[in-house]
Amino acid sequence: MGATNEQLGVMKLSDALRKAQSIGLDLVEVAPNAAPPVCRIVDFGKFRYALAKQEKEKKSSGSKLKEVKFRVNIDPHDYLTKVRHAEEFLDKGNKVRVQLQFRGREMAHQELGMALMHRVKGDLITMGQVEMEPRQMGKSINMTLSPLPESKRKRRFEPPQGAYVEDEAEEGDEPSEGDGEQA
């Protein structure tokens, strides 16, 4: 392949080297196991930089730690939203730290906090495995989950598809309050 990604076809090694030197670039072998081997005419320094950048991107994408915070008296809808976010983070290959914070008198009922953490653990078991069991540290309980292999992940809490739209009353339905009709 040439410097502008056009294919130059099959040629002898000496011809390819001469062509690369005439342009002022290097001949780099990119697929040695192919038949015939594939080479590219590029600036070797830029080529090495691009490879290093790709490797760094691969390594850094899977090791991020995301955090989801809960409270003991969490509303069911808020709970569902936070579990959905945690599931999404695990689906993207990130680790998730689940933190439950106590405030004031909530410390008197730490068993409710542990029950909530075990509920979160049970709800996310299809997406991740527990790396650190729920453990109390001061006024909070922490737990860390790491994602399962992609083939074993199974989402239980799908994100809503599009915006929420109320169902309109169909013919034959009784009118609800505020429809403008009076009885």
This model's pTM is above 0.85: no
Grade residue 83 by pLDDT with cuts at 50, 70 and 90.
Answer: very high
Residues 39 and 102 in one domain: no
Residues 89 and 128 in one domain: yes
Whether 171 is covered by a domain: the verdict is no
Picking from 29, 120, 118, the residue whose alpha carbon sits closest to that of residue 68 is 120
Residues 75 and 88 in one domain: yes
Q: Is 70 exposed, middle or buried (0-12, 13-18, 19+ CB in 10 A)?
A: buried
At residue 112, does pLDDT exceed 80? yes
9: left (phi over 0), alpha (psi -120 to 50) or beta: left
Q: What are the CA-CA distances from residue 56 to residues 59, 150, 181 (Å)?
A: 5, 21, 65
Residues 88 and 120 in one domain: yes
Residues 51 and 74 in one domain: no
Mean pLDDT in residue range 21-43:
83
Whether 34 is covered by a domain: the verdict is yes
Mean pLDDT in residue range 148-177:
64
Q: Count up the domains in the chain and report the number.
A: 2
Whether 180 is covered by a domain: the verdict is no
Residue 93's pLDDT is what?
A: 83
Residue-averaged pLDDT of the chain? 81
Cis peptide, bond prior to residue 159, ω within 30 of zero: no
Residues 93 and 32 in one domain: no
Of the segments 7-11, 92-96, 97-101, 177-181, which one has the largest average pLDDT value?
Answer: 97-101
Residues 40 and 83 in one domain: no
Mean pLDDT in residue range 29-37:
81
At residue 62, does pLDDT exceed 60? no
At residue 148, does pLDDT exceed 50? yes
Residues 78 and 145 in one domain: yes
* CA dist., res. 144 & res. 100, Å (int): 12
Whether 131 is covered by a domain: the verdict is yes
Residues 50 and 72 in one domain: no
Whether 163 is covered by a domain: the verdict is no
Residues 107 and 143 in one domain: yes
* CATH number (domain holding residue 34): 3.10.20.80
Domain that holds residue 29: 13-60
